Structures are given as structure tokens and as C-alpha cells.
């Protein structure tokens, strides 16, 4: 063929080179925002090299230069197909990068094949030069068959991986996978037709090299068009990066596509430790409760990090959807609301505690005691109440002053709280009176508790500077008799306390009936 005859084919191949190269540049510029960018760029660049080298081999007539090109073309082909295989592997298995167990043998094999092609003049395993009708031409050798088999193996492996991804995908992921399948089938069908069926519609033209441009276009479309974080407006970048809230944006597969500085600080990570990683893995490494919330699909959860100086972090998840309403990813927000939670807890504590003694107040006592009482009605397990009153407290105030009187109340409250169970509700009932609700405690057990408290108060000396303090106690029990209301039970405790006072103080009396 003359140069004029070859020119249309060469121009077509150059156009394909520009398309593939342009696709590689486009994805490279968006490499931080699209998944599997490295594999795609490798495939597109090597495909462009394949087509460019093929075009040059058509145009150049010098045999020595043709042999150089023939040595380079298989290297470009194999690397393009390896890029295709890596892309399919990462896509199908949802990997952030190719595992070393696959990467190292593949690279080694390509290096060996490249070396054999480069040294062909010494062994002629790849091709030999023969004269046909007065012109020198290339005849493929045994090594060419090995390369061809390896190329088809890579293509078939990629096809199987994408079929697997198609079977496991739904919605937008399935549409994305369909584009990838079409993209890989086109060059495979063309290559099979030319290699095994002798199909050659364009003489002196590499149909297989040209067909891969369709793969590049379709893969590029699937990579960019369906990438979730490509929807991030550039204008929002500065706002998001300056936010105190941590922001993570994931694609539909749950891979992190973007994280602002606050998110990295929350998670204790850097860019390289977050980009393209599964968000589930990152959350699991950070806080198991966050990982559990993500797996359970919770959209708003309060997390606690640490124990002694607990940090409260609110994790919210918002699903992103396209115009058709299909999920395309998620936005996770991490907000440090420790100050707010501490403030809320302080407010709550102030609402339920007596400001002088620090024990529960009367309102909170009735709230919890009523719950215990209702539980007793259902289970018929005993509920006991105990009331104590400081003996001759007015005399303490008159003798030592109200400041010392307050110290007595504080010291007695602290002592009693330290001697009762966590489920018992010890409250200031009014003045120098205190009341204790003891669930699942019989009258006999309540009497033992009251006696223990009475004895401890009697010998209480720390910080009181010789002030003698005693207290009188009243105890009553109910086992779920509906006729005995909570008010009636408290009245019985009060009567028992009055009996202790009347009998000489500093003693414990149980209500034994009218």
C-alpha cells in the first residue's frame, strides 16, 4: 500500500491515540475524586502507546526501526491489558489497591516478556524476518503465541471479574458494570475474530488496537460519570475544609473519596491513610461503636470515646441520591459535642440533686420511688423505705451556728450515700430529714441497713470538731399490695420514725401495723 492508502488508517489510529491520551489526562486531573484512577490511567496510556507504535510501524519502512517498534508493541499491549485486569480486580472485589500477591508476579512476568522481546534478534522466538514477494515481512514465532495466550488470559480474567461484579450489583452500580462489560467485550470479540477467524476488513490496519479505544471511552465514562464524589461542587471545598465538624464523603461502595482536616483530626489519620479506604474499616479502627452504627445503618448516633475524660462525638450519616432517587454515596459528619453533653449533664444533675448535700432531691425521689413501686406491684418483690431524722438538729444550729449545721447535713449525706447500693435512692426529704428507697429489699434487710447507718452516724467525727450527731430511723415494707399506695407507705415510714423519736431517739423502728 502507498502512503496515501495508509493515511486514513493512520489518522484513525492517531485519533484513537488522542482519545485514549485525553481520557488518561482527564482521569489524572480527577484522581483524588475518582476510584481506581491509577489502573485506568495505566490502561489508557499503554493503549495510546500501543496505537501510536502501531501507526508508526505502518508508516516507517526502515527494517531496523520496525524491529524496535515490534519489540515495544507487545510491551504496550500487555501493560494495557494488565491495567484492564487491575481495574477489573479492584472494581469487582472493592479493593483500594491491587494486592502484592497479584502485583509482584504480574510485574515480574511482564519484565520477562519485555526482555524476551527486546532480545529477539539473538533468539528469534518472538518473530523472524522473511522475504515475501520481494519485500521483508514479519513472521510470528512461538513466543508470540505465549504472549497471545497471556493476553487472552488477562482479558478473560477481567471479564469474569466484571461478570461477578454485575451479578452482585444493583441500581447505579449495575448500570456502571454494564458499561464496563460492553467496554471489555468489544476488543475481545474483535481480537478473537482477527486472531482465530481470519477476519481482516482493513488490510495493514490493527483492528484490535483500534477497538480498545472503545474500552477506554466506556471505562472512562463509567469511572467519572458514576463516581459519587464527582458531584462535590468545587465552590464548597473551602467551606468544608474550614469546618470544625469532620466530613467524610463516600461513594456508593462505601469507599472514602473525601475527608476534610477536621475528620482526619477526629480519626487520627492522614490523607494517605483515608483516601479510597472503606469507611467501615476506618470506623472500626477508630471506634467499634462507630463501625457498628455504620453497619446497622443508623443515621444519628451519640458516641463516647474514652472513660476518665470522656469525649462525646455525634456521628450522623446522610445518604446521597441522584435525580432518579438512587443512592450514590453518603456524607458522614463527626461533631464533638462534649461541652454540650457536659452542660446537659450538669443541668440534669442540678435538676435532680439537692444543692447543699449533693444527694437526690425530693422531686427525683418520688419519680424513681414511683417506678420502683410500680415494679413491685407487677413482680410482688419487696420494696422497703427508710426515713431518718437528725436528732435535736435545731440545738446543733443554735449552739454551733447554721454553717456547722450545714456541714453536719453534708457529712451525714456523704456517709449514707457511701453505705447504700447504687440502685438505692437516697434523697433529702426536707430540712434534716432524709429518705431511702430500697428495691428488692425485705423489711429485715432494710432494718439491717438502717442499723448500719445509725451506728455509722453515731461515731461520725471527721470535720465536725466534737459535735455529737445521732439520728432516728423509721422503716416500712410493701410486697406489692395494691391497697398500700406509695403515699401510704411513706406515711407508715414517717409513723415509724416518730415512734423512734418518742422512744428516746438514736434508734431504728419498723412499722408493724396500726
* Residues with catalytic function: 432
Element (H, E) at 110: helix 100-118
Q: How far apart are CA 24 and CA 233, in angstroms?
A: 22
Contact predicate 227/33, CB 8 Å: yes
Q: How far apart are CA 152 and CA 125, in angstroms?
A: 19
Q: How far apart are CA 133 and CA 446, in angstroms?
A: 116
2: DSSP letter: -
Alpha helices (runs of H) in 30-62, residue ranges in sequence order: 37-59
The candidate with the shortest Cα–Cα distance to 178, out of 191, 163, 189, 188, is: 163
231: DSSP letter: G
Element (H, E) at 347: helix 338-352
Contact predicate 113/127, CB 8 Å: no
CA 5 remoteness from chain centre: 60
Place of cell 427508710: 386
Q: How many residues does the chain have?
A: 514
Q: How far apart are CA 211 and CA 108, in angstroms?
A: 27
Alpha helices (runs of H) in 353-485, residue ranges in sequence order: 362-379, 393-400, 402-419, 443-458
Residues 6+ apart with CB under 8 A from 502: none
Q: How far apart are CA 71 and CA 118, in angstroms?
A: 6
Q: How far apart are CA 408 and CA 76, in angstroms?
A: 90
In the structure grid, which three cell numbers stand for residue 108, read together? 515480574
Q: How far apart are CA 487 and CA 197, in angstroms?
A: 98
What end-to-end distance do the CA atoms of the chain give, in Å? 125
Q: How far apart are CA 507 and CA 451, in angstroms?
A: 8
Rg of the chain over all Cα atoms, to the nearest angstrom? 41
Contact predicate 15/240, CB 8 Å: no
The candidate with the shortest Cα–Cα distance to 79, out of 54, 124, 114, 127, is: 114
Contact predicate 337/314, CB 8 Å: yes
Amino acid at each position: 500500500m502507498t502512503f496515501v492508502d495508509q493515511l486514513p488508517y493512520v489518522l484513525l489510529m492517531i485519533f484513537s491515540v488522542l482519545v485514549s491520551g485525553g481520557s488518561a489526562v482527564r482521569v489524572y486531573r480527577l484522581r483524588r475524586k475518582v476510584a481506581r484512577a491509577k489502573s485506568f490511567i495505566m490502561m489508557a496510556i499503554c493503549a495510546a502507546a500501543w496505537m501510536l507504535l502501531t501507526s508508526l510501524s505502518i508508516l516507517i519502512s526502515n527494517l531496523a526501526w520496525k524491529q524496535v517498534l515490534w519489540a515495544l508493541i507487545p510491551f504496550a499491549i500487555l501493560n494495557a491489558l494488565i491495567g484492564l485486569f487491575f481495574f477489573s480486580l479492584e472494581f469487582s472485589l472493592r479493593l483500594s489497591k491491587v494486592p502484592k500477591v497479584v502485583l509482584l508476579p504480574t510485574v515480574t512476568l511482564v519484565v520477562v516478556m519485555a526482555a524476551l522481546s527486546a532480545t529477539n534478534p539473538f533468539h528469534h522466538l518472538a518473530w523472524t524476518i522473511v522475504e515475501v514477494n520481494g519485500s521483508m515481512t514479519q513472521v510470528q514465532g512461538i513466543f508470540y503465541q505465549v504472549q497471545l495466550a497471556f493476553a487472552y488470559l488477562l482479558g478473560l480474567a477481567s471479564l469474569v471479574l466484571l461478570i461477578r461484579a454485575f451479578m452482585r450489583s444493583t441500581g447505579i452500580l449495575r448500570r456502571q458494570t454494564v458499561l464496563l462489560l460492553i467496554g471489555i467485550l468489544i476488543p475481545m470479540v474483535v481480537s478473537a475474530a482477527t486472531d482465530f477467524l481470519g477476519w481482516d476488513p482493513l488490510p495493514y490496519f490493527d483492528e484490535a488496537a483500534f477497538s480498545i479505544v472503545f474500552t477506554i471511552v466506556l471505562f472512562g465514562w463509567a469511572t467519572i460519570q458514576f463516581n459519587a464524589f464527582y458531584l462535590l461542587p468545587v465552590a464548597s471545598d473551602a467551606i468544608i475544609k474550614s469546618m470544625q465538624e469532620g466530613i467524610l464523603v463516600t461513594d456508593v461502595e462505601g469507599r472514602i473519596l473525601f475527608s476534610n482536616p477536621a475528620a482526619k483530626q477526629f480519626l487520627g489519620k492522614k490523607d494517605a491513610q483515608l483516601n479510597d479506604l472503606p469507611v467501615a474499616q476506618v470506623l472500626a479502627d477508630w471506634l467499634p461503636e462507630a463501625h457498628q452504627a455504620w453497619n446497622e445503618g443508623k443515621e444519628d448516633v451519640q458516641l463516647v470515646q474514652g472513660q476518665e475524660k470522656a469525649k462525646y462525638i455525634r456521628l450522623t450519616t446522610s445518604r446521597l441520591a441522584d435525580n432518579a432517587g438512587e443512592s450514590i454515596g453518603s456524607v458522614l459528619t463527626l461533631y464533638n459535642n462534649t461541652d454540650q453533653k457536659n452542660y446537659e449533664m450538669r443541668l440534669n444533675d442540678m435538676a435532680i440533686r439537692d444543692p447543699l448535700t449533693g444527694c437526690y432531691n425530693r422531686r427525683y425521689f418520688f419519680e424513681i420511688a414511683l417506678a420502683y413501686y410500680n415494679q413491685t406491684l407487677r413482680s410482688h418483690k419487696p420494696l422497703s423505705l427508710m426515713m431518718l431524722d437528725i436528732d435535736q438538729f435545731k440545738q446543733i444550729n443554735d449552739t454551733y451556728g447554721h454553717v456547722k449545721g450545714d456541714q453536719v447535713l453534708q457529712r451525714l449525706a456523704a456517709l449514707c450515700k457511701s453505705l447504700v447500693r447504687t440502685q438505692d435512692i437516697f434523697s433529702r426529704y426536707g430540712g434534716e430529714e432524709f429518705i431511702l428507697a430500697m428495691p428488692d429489699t425485705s423489711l429485715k434487710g432494710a432494718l439491717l441497713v438502717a442499723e448500719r447507718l445509725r451506728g455509722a452516724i453515731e461515731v461520725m467525727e471527721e470535720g465536725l470538731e466534737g459535735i455529737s450527731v445521732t439520728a432516728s430511723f423509721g422503716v416500712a415494707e410493701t410486697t406489692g399490695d395494691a391497697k398500700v399506695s406509695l403515699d401510704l407507705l411513706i406515711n407508715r415510714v414517717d409513723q415509724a420514725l416518730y415512734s423512734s423519736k418518742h422512744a428516746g431517739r438514736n434508734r431504728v423502728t419498723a412499722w408493724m401495723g396500726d
